[in-house]
Chains A and B, each alone.
Chain A
Amino acid sequence: MRGFRLLLAAAALAGSAVAADAQTISYAQAGAMLGKSCGPDITKLCPTVNLGNGALVACLDSKIKQVSAKCQSDYAMATASIAKRDAAQDAIGQICNADAARLCPGMIPQDGNLLSCLLQATKVVSAACNQAITDAGYR
């Protein structure tokens, strides 16, 4: 019964640990992993429950003993991946602030032009900022 909630809490924690282990996968990969590993369980146990609003997690949680081990672990991994990618994307602004001021002064940052500026300047961008761009999946 408590299994899924534990795993999800774990995922939230993993998201905040992004600086320690910053490798992230795309939302598409996380979604596909969730669908692939949990699809059979969802179809069998929670066929009338939708993905959003925590409804699916709540349903699987309530039937946790029937949920496959693969789904349990991959659900946690997918959720953690999404949180980590989100945190990595949020972190760029701060990590790349000084690089942006140095390399792209006066630019109004919209439509991805700041990212383009930093990508073009990759060779002279700080290692931390380059890493942040990679972790965010923007390369």
Chain B
Amino acid sequence: MTSPLIRFALAASLALTGASALVSTASAQTQLSDTQILKGLQGLTDTAPAITADQMRKMVQQHMTQYPGEALTRPSLALNLDKLPQINVQIQFRLNSAIIEPSSYGTLGAIADALHNPILHGYKFIVTGNTDVTGTREINLKLSQQRADAVVNALVTVFNVSPNRLEPVGLGEEVLLDPKNPTSGINRRVQIFTIGRVGPTPQPIR
């Protein structure tokens, strides 16, 4: 430790005191608030279906094999996971890339706020990437996995969410939010599903 380091630490620490006023305008860019995300992801029940990341990937592979036809004629894959708490969130990526646009960093933070809330602390999640049907099906599958990876990576390494709570799954162009408009941008999204508890049951307080 050298003295310049400590000086910087003090500066950063002091500067924080005034930070709230600065960021109030920036946070307005967040499209989905952490409260909405928290609401969407809580309330997993014992009767909800169990699903793993591997099972989800297999469903995608089976769907691609079963429906090799042209994008506009084949059905959208129904995951049948309506009973799981879940949210759809728009994260902006660079075109044909898994690079998250800086304009979406606030949204990533809002997801982290929800995941760090005690209501969700004991749970794990699947984070899926989805494209629309524009472009090559195989490339979309790969891209969606890379995008889901990028989101999980940022949540874990920047926003300190525990890595054993998040599993990224690329769903490609198979699971459309608006199956009637498969090329619509609304289908390009990240979904988060609450899939189960993580860790041992806590001891009673005494």
Listed in ascending order, the chain A residues whose CB lies under 8 Å from chain B are 6-7, 9-11, 13-14, 17, 20-21, 23-36, 38-39, 42-43, 47-54, 73, 76-77, 80-82, 84-86, 89, 100-101, 104-112, 114-115, 137-138
Inter-chain CA distance A37–B55, complex, in Å, is: 41
Please give the distance in Å from B5's CB to the nearest CB on chain A: 5
Within 8 Å by CB of B108, from A11, A51, A77, lies A51
- Whether A29 pairs with B97 at a CB distance below 8 angstroms is no
- Whether A38 pairs with B14 at a CB distance below 8 angstroms is no
Please give the distance in Å from A96's CB to the nearest CB on chain B: 10
- Whether B14 pairs with A50 at a CB distance below 8 angstroms is no
- Whether A13 pairs with B27 at a CB distance below 8 angstroms is no
- Whether B157 pairs with A52 at a CB distance below 8 angstroms is yes
Inter-chain CA distance A14–B120, complex, in Å, is: 27
Residues from chain B with a CB closer than 8 A to the CB of A108 are 201-205
Inter-chain CA distance A119–B108, complex, in Å, is: 27
Within 8 Å by CB of A82, from B8, B121, B160, lies B160
Please give the distance in Å from A7's CB to the nearest CB on chain B: 6
Inter-chain CA distance A68–B104, complex, in Å, is: 20
Top 8 A-B residue pairs of the complex, sorted by shortest distance between their CB atoms: A31-B109, A32-B106, A52-B153, A10-B8, A112-B119, A39-B102, A35-B105, A13-B9
- Whether B30 pairs with A28 at a CB distance below 8 angstroms is yes
Which one of B17-25, B66-74, B175-183 contacts A? B17-25
Within 8 Å by CB of A26, from B14, B100, B109, B157, lies B109
- Whether A32 pairs with B100 at a CB distance below 8 angstroms is no
Residues from chain A with a CB closer than 8 A to the CB of B150 are 50-52
Residues from chain B with a CB closer than 8 A to the CB of A138 are 117-118
- Whether B206 pairs with A106 at a CB distance below 8 angstroms is yes
**Per-position contact with A for B68-82: 1 when CB-CB < 8 Å, else 0?**
000000000000000
Please give the distance in Å from B90's CB to the nearest CB on chain A: 14
Inter-chain CA distance A30–B107, complex, in Å, is: 10
Please give the distance in Å from A114's CB to the nearest CB on chain B: 7
Inter-chain CA distance A84–B112, complex, in Å, is: 14
- Whether B103 pairs with A35 at a CB distance below 8 angstroms is yes
Residues from chain B with a CB closer than 8 A to the CB of A110 are 121-122, 201-202
Within 8 Å by CB of B16, from A14, A32, A51, A104, lies A14
Within 8 Å by CB of A34, from B24, B105, B112, lies B105
Residues from chain A with a CB closer than 8 A to the CB of B203 are 108
- Whether A31 pairs with B106 at a CB distance below 8 angstroms is yes
- Whether B19 pairs with A50 at a CB distance below 8 angstroms is no
Inter-chain CA distance A9–B35, complex, in Å, is: 31
